[in-house]
A and B are shown apart, each in its own frame.
Chain A
């Protein structure tokens, strides 16, 4: 088991023994990464923060199903993923959000790391490339985006990504491959018009 998984496993074990400090250790370890994953899926940091809290509440309620000695990271990602899907369905049912004046409020964009989009950071070329890649990533179908973010940005194995998203490893590989092909086409089109030499080599640069 990897050191971080071992540490998470120890913290989870102590948390199940009733140590609240162990929960805080687990939260400090995993919440930033889970938040980044959720922000990447939802494209909205505020909603991602809400889903993060809901997901950790579900982890708390389901801690009795934890198996001692097991790596809790994929399990927590799975709970967060399902909570996020529920939230996305809710948002689909209420598509339009109006202000009191009847205007459509602009949703704040989120970086793939979960950080709010900072206009000043777009001044340099690297940030512009990342912004173009983010826009392209946002146009991917949900399942392809999930596969790409989990395997290439968050470093989950194909098997773990399959478990988190509730599909097969083969499907994850296929979705990630299709995501590459679509991204390449989208970025090639955008880059060809604007800056052909600035296409990112891989999506890991986005993080």
Chain B
């Protein structure tokens, strides 16, 4: 089979070819992780730690913090580090690890919220106060996740192809875990419903939002597949 030579445009581009710095995923991971953690630390320092920090039982508090940190690092790893010998991060691994670790973290969040030692109890706050507290916590979380999401998407530019939505979900999950960690350190709300629902939602929201950005493309792909089916078999 005759293959055409490279096009004139490609040849022109090759005429000015210079050495280029290639991607080093491990360095990217360290850079994004360190910058995100530093930003989260500044965020906590600005907002202040929760008032009941000294009275909290150490084990549930440390357990949740460690789980959040582990989820952040694991999902960031999945989103930024390709499998050995590959260029692109694995969408399948990213989606599986994100589902597993975010599910476990939300479960831990609910368990800690309901645990009496963690100060969890259902309080009969007014709806307006509950919504205001929820809004504050979600806004805080979104403020924290902005940096890891922006840095992650920037470092993944030109790398998000068909598997992009799964990698985006993992990146959003990592950012959500970091946001959850900041809420855990900052928010002293003793309401179990607030901790369980709002903090749980704050964990999942970034992953859902980043995943939704691909929905338009997925639905157009589904429309295309459907029209192909109709065109091929419907006549």
Contact = CB atoms under 8 A, between A and B. Distances in A.
Interface of A: 1, 15-20, 23-24, 27-28, 31-32, 35-36, 49, 52-53, 56-57, 60-72, 74-75, 78-79, 81-82, 85, 88-89, 92, 113-115, 139-143, 162-169
B20 A16 contact: yes
A107 B159 CA distance: 34
A27 B227 contact: no
Nearest to B7: A53
Interface string B4-43: 1011011001110111111111000000000000000000
Contacts of A89: 220, 224
Given A82-B161, A166-B161, A71 B88 contact: no
B52 interface: no
A115 B157 CA distance: 35
B225 A65 contact: no
B88 A78 contact: yes
30 contacts: A1-B85, A17-B19, A20-B14, A28-B3, A49-B4, A52-B4, A56-B10, A57-B13, A64-B158, A65-B157, A67-B22, A68-B22, A70-B85, A71-B86, A71-B87, A75-B86, A78-B161, A79-B161, A85-B221, A89-B224, A113-B1, A141-B225, A141-B229, A141-B232, A142-B225, A163-B90, A166-B91, A167-B163, A168-B92, A169-B92
Given A32-B1, A78-B161, A169-B92, A18 B20 contact: yes
A205 to B, nearest CB: 17
Contacts of B13: 57, 60
Interface of B: 1, 3-4, 6-7, 9-10, 13-15, 17-25, 82, 85-88, 90-92, 157-159, 161-164, 220-221, 224-225, 227-229, 232-233
Contact of B23 (A36, A60, A66): A66
Contacts of B90: 163
A115 B21 CA distance: 38
A142 B21 CA distance: 37
B163 A63 contact: no
A68 B22 CA distance: 7
B225 A20 contact: no
A74 B86 contact: yes
A11 to B, nearest CB: 13
B84 to A, nearest CB: 8
A68 B86 CA distance: 9
B1 A82 contact: no
B20 A162 contact: no
A75 B220 contact: no
Contacts of A115: 1
Contact of B19 (A18, A23, A49, A141): A18
A70 B225 contact: no
Contacts of A18: 17-20
B224 A162 contact: no
A87 B141 CA distance: 40
